[in-house]
């Protein structure tokens, strides 16, 4: 990980008053060729040729209290989580008008001049704020995108609405209210999914719902501009999410790929569906029984893409450890990961490591290391 990275571009990007250079979608989509720092290894960027046949889980019966439908939904989710950690849900009770309204407000922020966006730039060690191609953290394999992330916690304080109004400007008060409501809906759905995950694992149905009720999660909007050489770059590189559960709404442009059976598969957008994937925290809570989903975001040359992502994370000081019955069910009947907190894992991914498919294994080694300052990763990605 480089500090003050030097990015090689075909033409100079915008420069702020202090001389720092920043890149946003407006700049990227004007590039006729992919700059060197945005090029990814061929094995990472190779186009997916097949579509993933992942289950689309209808939640109507679950919400209506239908026992048989709930068991069937839990079985579908279990089969996916044992294999790749990915599925989609319909009849999720998130208002379609709210989703559309959230998209309507995506461009309100991203269309701001770069000088305005960087006023809320992500700070070192923090997952919150604006990021243009992650230039603040990395110098190679840069993602072809810009993102805006903010915190959410359920409760009487409207922290999302207040963040937009007081941190950006009063002009964004309505945008903040929209994302407050959207985040509340995502939090509620996440807790419902947690019940189904628990049922599938054979533990107390309320175990994970109660664990995540006071979650401090991350809401993110993504903008992937067009790219004239899409086979050379990626909107997001191959990785497993470090959090517990991710809920994605992707527009109909498409671009999400999931790695299954040693090859990349496209995920066709399903109208009205939400995409769910398991992250590293939940993989640890299940003692490795459920898999963290390896995925990426491709780019294209014809239409920019937007997405809304909700990352459910435990409260920072909550201890992540599997239920004892899951340890007994695991291969060898032993613990796969040590007790840790979300703040431990967040420190690792924000300050010491770029997330990929072996984040959890390398975090475990780092966490147990007697000399963390000299830690060297020993787990590396498999060939894609």
Hey, which residues are catalytic here?
Answer: 305
Is 176 in contact with 152 (CB distance < 8 Å)?
no
The DSSP code for 21 is B
Q: Determine the 3-state secondary structure of 305 from DSSP.
A: strand
Angle at 134 between CA 131 and CA 138, to 5 degrees: 155
Distance CA 372, CA 374 (A): 5
Residue with tokens 């300052």: 373
Is 84 in contact with 295 (CB distance < 8 Å)?
no
Beta strand 56-58 pairing with 86-90: parallel
Dihedral (Cα; 297, 193, 191, 362), 10-degree rounding: -50
Residue with tokens 């960087």: 118
The DSSP code for 15 is B
Distance CA 161, CA 149 (A): 13
Question: 282-300 burial string, b = 16+ CB within 10 Å, else e?
Answer: bbbbbbbbbbbbbbbbbbe
| Residue 25 φ then ψ, to 5° | -60, -35
- Give me 208's structure tokens: 């994970």
Is 34 in contact with 233 (CB distance < 8 Å)?
yes
Is 299 in contact with 144 (CB distance < 8 Å)?
yes
Q: Is 328 buried (19+), middle (13-18) or exposed (0-12) by CB count in 10 A?
A: exposed
Q: Determine the 3-state secondary structure of 257 from DSSP.
A: strand
């Amino acid at each position: 990980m480089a500090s003050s990275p030097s990015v090689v571009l075909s033409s100079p990007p915008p420069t702020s008053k202090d001389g720092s250079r920043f890149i946003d979608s407006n700049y990227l989509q004007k590039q006729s060729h992919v700059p060197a720092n945005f090029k990814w290894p061929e094995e990472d960027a190779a186009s997916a040729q097949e579509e993933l046949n992942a289950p689309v889980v209808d939640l109507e019966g679950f919400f209506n209290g239908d026992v048989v439908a709930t068991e069937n939904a839990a079985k579908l989710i279990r089969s996916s989580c044992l294999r790749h950690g990915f599925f989609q849900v319909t009849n999720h009770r998130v208002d379609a008008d709210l989703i559309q309204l959230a998209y309507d407000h995506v461009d309100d922020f991203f269309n701001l001049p770069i000088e305005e966006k960087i006023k809320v730039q992500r700070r070192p060690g923090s997952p919150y704020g604006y990021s243009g191609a992650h230039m603040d953290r990395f110098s190679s394999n840069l993602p072809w995108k810009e993102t805006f992330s903010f915190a959410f916690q359920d409760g009487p304080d409207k922290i999302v609405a207040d963040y937009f109004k007081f941190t950006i400007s009063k002009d964004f008060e309505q945008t903040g209210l929209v994302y407050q409501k959207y985040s509340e809906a995502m939090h509620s759905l996440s807790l419902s999914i947690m019940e189904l995950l628990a049922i599938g694992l054979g533990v107390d149905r309320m175990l994970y719902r109660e664990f995540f009720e006071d979650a401090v999660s991350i809401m993110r909007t993504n903008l992937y501009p067009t790219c004239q050489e899409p086979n050379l770059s990626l909107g997001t590189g191959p990785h497993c999410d470090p959090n517990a559960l991710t809920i994605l709404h992707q527009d109909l442009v498409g671009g999400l790929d999931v790695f299954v059976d040693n090859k990349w598969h496209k995920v066709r957008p399903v109208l009205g569906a939400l995409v769910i994937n398991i992250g590293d925290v939940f993989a640890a809570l299940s003692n490795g029984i459920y898999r963290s989903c390896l995925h990426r975001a491709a780019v294209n040359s014809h239409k920019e893409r937007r997405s809304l992502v909700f990352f459910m994370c435990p409260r920072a000081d909550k201890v992540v450890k599997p239920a004892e019955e899951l340890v007994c069910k695991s291969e060898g009947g032993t613990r796969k990961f040590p007790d840790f907190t979300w703040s431990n894992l967040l420190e690792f991914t924000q300050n010491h490591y770029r997330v990929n498919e072996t984040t959890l294994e390398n975090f475990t080694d780092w966490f147990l290391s007697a000399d963390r300052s000299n830690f060297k990763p020993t787990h590396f990605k498999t060939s894609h």
